[in-house]
Structure 1
Amino acid sequence: MTSWPGPRIFDGHNDTLLRIMNGQITPEDVAQGLPDGHICLPRARAGGFGGGFFAMFVPSPADQALRYEVMEHPPYDLPLPPRIPQPEAWDFVTREFAALEALQAAGAVTLCRTAAEIEAALQGETMAAVAHIEGAEAISESCEELEPLHSRGLRSLGPVWSRPTVFGEGVPFRFPSTGDIGGGLTEAGKRLVAECNRLKIMLDLSHLNEKGVDDIAALSDAPLVATHSNAHAVTPHSRNLTDRQLAQIAETGGMVGINFASAFLRTDGKMLADFSLDLMMRHLDHLVKFLGEDGVGFGSDFDGALIPQEITDCAGLPNLRAALRKHGVDDALMQKLAHENWLRVLRATWGE
């Protein structure tokens, strides 16, 4: 058995599947080791990365490098990309699901459908993987696709990425700004919430605008969760959560995964990696203030964002643990942040 450097970290969000879809890597690369990127099995073992939510995301035809360049120079307000047609998104997401299954066949991950399976995988040799859809473009207004996807292993879904869908509106990459941009959920969006509750698919608030969050808070019978978001009071970015939203999440026993993306951590909103992890500790303190020690975890955005240079990739997580220790985090809270809080929320959401 591998000796892990501290409690294994179960993570709220990564975009590794998109790298496979883009032809940058193969599932076998992830299993055997990579020269670049944020996640592969050897690095996960070195850093104590236990896995997490593997996002199935349909990219917009835009240049991420150009977006990052704009975000180096606040203030900024990037326009929302247009909607993705449902048939196109369905084709892409079903192929991404096949890529996730190929990761399991290659021995890189164990696809988990229950919190008990995650807990078991965290003790094993592969990464635990939960199937997540980021932006529900692949789902039609009738939501008829949810049941077969759930049978295949889907356990988490975000109604939007940072662009509109038939279900609601996302927030643009805007700094400084709140998320109070656009209208609430559509009637189809309200059906989506009801169907996710029925099937016990976790709803992710990350990327959703403020009125959409309010609607889910009013409609959902599950804990409110933002898998990869930070505190707006520390970094006033449209992607971060206001104190009012944190109070809404706390009221349901939900949680927030701290996003490692530089622009959502830095107080100046810049997408630049050269800063101290003390900034992440400020977000941690603020989130714990509102959510308590049981309501915070990590949602790195590995393979989808510019990560602080002190972490770099999942092999760098011991540096995060060291920063947490220096900040006064004890063994009990370290366990909660690493994976216990995620397991608690998922048990409640999935009815275990």
Structure 2
Amino acid sequence: MTETDLVPVFDGHNDTLLRLYQSKDADVEKLFIEGTQGGHIDLPRAKKGGFAGGMFAIFPPPVEKSRRSAVPPAPSDSEPLPPEVPHADALASTVAMASILFRLERASALTVCRSVGDVRHAMAQGSIAAVFHIEGVEAIDTELTMLDVLHAAGLRSLGIVWSRPNAFGHGVPFRFPSSPDTGPGLTDAGKALVKACNKLKIMIDLSHLNEKGFRDVAEISDAPLVATHSNVHAICGHSRNLTEWQLGAIRESGGMVGLNFATGFLREDGRMNADTSLDIMVRHVDSLLQALGEDGVGLGSDFDGAMIPAPIGDVTGLPKLIDAFAARGFGSALIEKIAYRNWLNILEKTIG
């Protein structure tokens, strides 16, 4: 299969900026453009895999750890929430990763997109279409002054929490088996943030919110509900996955869900184990299609932020997933919706 034959993929979530930030390499542009060992996304591999763009997340990492997160190595039904990250530390790492994003744009490695028109144009030009996303808003003050600054810089999507508490709400812990009903919902500042995002046309990502926080957003927001990288709780009973009522609320709002490739959110045993087949990924997509309809399902890989199935490996494995959809009997129109068209449609409804 040549690059011209590839179905383009617009992806709901990656942590590539965090990987580059934690590399401590002074020339991250070269690292991304020329490619590197390890990780999941760089420019050569993106082109090989048909990766056309996506939400490029900025995730303020835990201060006490250099690795990506405090995700437990084995399932636990009592895993505590990681500690909060101080505002000053989150602000410093957020600005540093935003700088990497804009340096990559200056190096012509990608295009930072502020509207769906920008996304379509970048894809047509063969440039990676990057939407500036924040996963956990610890860098934003409760007066929301930094929100205005970040929006002016290009922020168009955010997850109010990662899987830890902050001044705006409570994340869902990494518990298996567990429902997502694990704690209180949004604070008053969190509710004000939702309204501000609606006004500024910043998409809100529900992926790491607990059940009460999800309900708060559903009640307040006038935008479609979106979970950029989550799976089906009925298949994998992880607290990070979406229950039947949550999927119903998303469908009622005209929203969508991106399939998370993280094996611990795919497998029935909740384990982070790379020996995971494409079949379970297709099974989650089938279930999402039943719950949301064919306009409500996309991909949200969590590349560079999770252990993914070995058959995928990295971004070059995306065509294998597309082939698995075709083998399941999905037609070309449905495959294109899942691969990129549904994301473009939801971005048109949320960021404009």
User: With structure 2 as the length reference, what TM-score do the two structures score?
Assistant: 0.95
Q: Deviations over 1:120-171 (max 9, x none)?
A: 2122232110000100100111111111111110000111000001000001
Deviation at 1:66, TM superposition (A): 9.4
1:214–1:324 CA distance, 2 compared to 1 (3 A)? same
Aligned residue identity for 1:21: Y
Q: Which residue of 1 aligns with 2:20?
A: 20
Q: 8 Å contact 1:56–1:134 — kept in the other structure?
A: yes
Q: Which residue of 2 aligns with 1:101?
A: 102
Q: Deviations over 1:151-209 (max 9, x none)?
A: 11000011100000100000111100011010111000010001101100000001100
Moved more, 211-220 or 56-65: 56-65
Matches within 5 A, 1:83-94: 83-94=84-95
Q: Which residue of 2 aligns with 1:36?
A: 38
Q: 8 Å contact 1:20–1:27 — kept in the other structure?
A: no
Q: Quick one: distance in 1 between partners of 2:275 and 2:321? A: 15
Tell me, what secondary structure is at the counterpart of 2:165?
Answer: coil
Q: Quick one: distance in 1 between partners of 2:223 and 2:168? A: 18
1:312 maps onto 2:313 in alignment: yes
Q: 8 Å contact 2:22–2:66 — kept in the other structure?
A: no
Alignment partner of 1:49 out of 51, 61, 77: 51
Matches within 5 A, 1:19-168: 19-23=19-23, 26-60=28-62, 61-62=64-65, 64=67, 70-72=72-74, 74-168=75-169
Q: Quick one: distance in 2 between partners of 1:171 and 1:242? A: 13
Tell me, what secondary structure is at the counterpart of 1:136?
Answer: coil
Deviation at 1:67, TM superposition (A): 5.3
1:205–1:195 CA distance, 2 compared to 1 (3 A)? same
Deviation at 1:75, TM superposition (A): 3.6
Q: Which residue of 2 aligns with 1:236?
A: 237
Name segments (4+ residues, structure 1) moved above 4 Å: 63-68
Matches within 5 A, 1:264-303: 264-303=265-304
Aligned residues: 348
Q: 8 Å contact 1:4–1:47 — kept in the other structure?
A: no
1:126–1:169 CA distance, 2 compared to 1 (3 A)? same
Aligned residue identity for 1:33: G
Aligned residue identity for 2:20: I
Q: Deviations over 1:221-246 (max 9, x none)?
A: 10000000000011000000001000
| Percent identity between the two aligned chains | 53
1:214–1:121 CA distance, 2 compared to 1 (3 A)? same
Tell me, what secondary structure is at the counterpart of 1:248?
Answer: helix
Matches within 5 A, 1:191-210: 191-210=192-211
Aligned residue identity for 1:8: P
Aligned residue identity for 1:284: V
1:8 maps onto 2:4 in alignment: no
Q: Quick one: distance in 1 between partners of 2:52 and 2:5? A: 11
Q: Quick one: distance in 2 between partners of 1:324 and 1:264? A: 19
Q: Quick one: distance in 2 between partners of 1:67 and 1:344? A: 34
Tell me, what secondary structure is at the counterpart of 1:123?
Answer: helix
For the aligned residue pairs, the C-alpha RMSD in angstroms reads 1.5
Deviation at 1:318, TM superposition (A): 1.1
Deviation at 1:65, TM superposition (A): 8.6
Q: Deviations over 1:5-25 (max 9, x none)?
A: 432100011111111211255
Q: Quick one: distance in 1 between partners of 2:6 and 2:68? A: 34
Tell me, what secondary structure is at the counterpart of 1:54?
Answer: strand
Q: 8 Å contact 1:86–1:138 — kept in the other structure?
A: yes
Tell me, what secondary structure is at the counterpart of 1:175?
Answer: coil
Aligned residue identity for 1:13: H
Tell me, what secondary structure is at the counterpart of 1:309?
Answer: coil
Q: 8 Å contact 1:41–1:126 — kept in the other structure?
A: no
